[in-house]
Amino acid sequence: MARKRFGRASDARLIAATAAKAERGAAETDARVERRDAEIDAPAERREPETGARVERRDAEIDAPAERRDPQTDARVERRDADTDAPAPRKSAGSRAPAARKSAAARQPSARRYHAPLRQAAAERTRAAILSAAQALFEEQGWARTTVPALADAAGVSPKTVEAQFRTKANLLAEVVTAIGRTQADVESSKAFNDAPTAISALPHHAAYATPLSARSARIARAVEEAAPTDPTVADIAERMRRNLDYGAQWAARILMAKRGLAGDLTVAEAERVFRFAIDPATYRTLTGELGLDDDGVREWMLRYERGMLLLRT
């Protein structure tokens, strides 16, 4: 019985001694690993000469067959690998943002141009319908009585669609005037007026050229004249229309003054005034509205007026 107790006590002491030795070995191993990492991370001039040798021995231990390895070496390797695989310290947002944006830009595919012919055609039809309805209402009702809901209803669209296309009623009126101005003039009549050898043969071509232009612009000009005093955008449109009329009168006077058969005392300024009155929108509105003339009647009146004011009286 004594031997048994003594054997069990000896075994206990042996186990305790072995555990203590293992703990000391683990502590020494940790200390060696810390010193090794500190030496490896230190600048080259501060490393000890034997550091390289220890690194070589460590690599040899790692490369040794599994049965010859020291368990402590494996533990060190595992800890080193864990340290190696640990995530690097996070960079600040300021340093990371440019690289992230550059990477995102590199990954982003090139933008493809959106092309939808049917949708574009539908949008153009909607725009044309709004312009047509606006011209009709401005000419018939004038500026003040034409409202966005009314012209939207006439165009078959919602008021929001009108606002999305043109934003304001003044912009819409400007677009109407621009569209009217793009209408092709009678090129043949203009050329015949320029090429006629005498004033008396030239004036019928001027009346044929100018009457359709007056018919297209006279009624919309009334809406522009009505709104110009209160709206800067429309005031700019009115000024542009006046300049165009002045240019048309100057162009006709300059051509006519080079022809034979004019009144002897006629000056260029007088010829300009005659043409300016003949093509003025208010003149057309008076002839059609108060005198009830149609476009043919306006053309005949214009020809008689210009002949009476410009030609040589015999």
* Mean pLDDT to the nearest integer, 130-142: 95
pLDDT band at 273 (very low <50, low <70, confident <90, very high): very high
Contact 168, 233 (CB under 8 A): yes
C-alpha torsion sign, points 111, 113, 116, 120: positive
Contact 222, 281 (CB under 8 A): yes
Contact 134, 173 (CB under 8 A): yes
Cα angle 142-143-146, degrees, rounded to a multiple of 5: 85
Domains of the chain: which residue ranges?
20-74, 119-181, 187-310
Contact 205, 192 (CB under 8 A): yes
User: Does the predicted TM-score (pTM) go above 0.75?
Assistant: no
pLDDT band at 183 (very low <50, low <70, confident <90, very high): confident
* 190-239: pLDDT as tens digits: 999 999 999 999 999 999 999 999 999 999 999 999 999 999 999 999 99
* 227-272: pLDDT as tens digits: 999 999 999 999 999 999 999 999 999 999 999 999 989 999 999 9
Measured CA to CA, the distance from residue 304 to residue 287 in angstroms comes to: 14
> Which letter does DSSP use for residue 123 in this model?
H
156: left (phi over 0), alpha (psi -120 to 50) or beta: left
Give the start-end residues of each E strand in 166-307: none
Provide the token pair at 56.
Answer: 């070589």
* 2-28: pLDDT as tens digits: 444 445 555 556 556 665 666 666 566
Measured CA to CA, the distance from residue 119 to residue 125 in angstroms comes to: 10
Question: 53-62, 126-135, 264-273: which has the minimum mean pLDDT?
Answer: 53-62
Map tokens 């008021």 to a residue: 159
Q: At the fourth CATH level, which superfamily is domain 119-181?
A: Homeodomain-like (1.10.10.60)
For 38, 40, 80, 157, the CA distances from 34, given in Å and listed in that order, are 6, 10, 11, 80
Measured CA to CA, the distance from residue 254 to residue 268 in angstroms comes to: 7
For 124, 130, 133, 170, 238, the CA distances from 231, given in Å and listed in that order, are 27, 21, 21, 8, 11
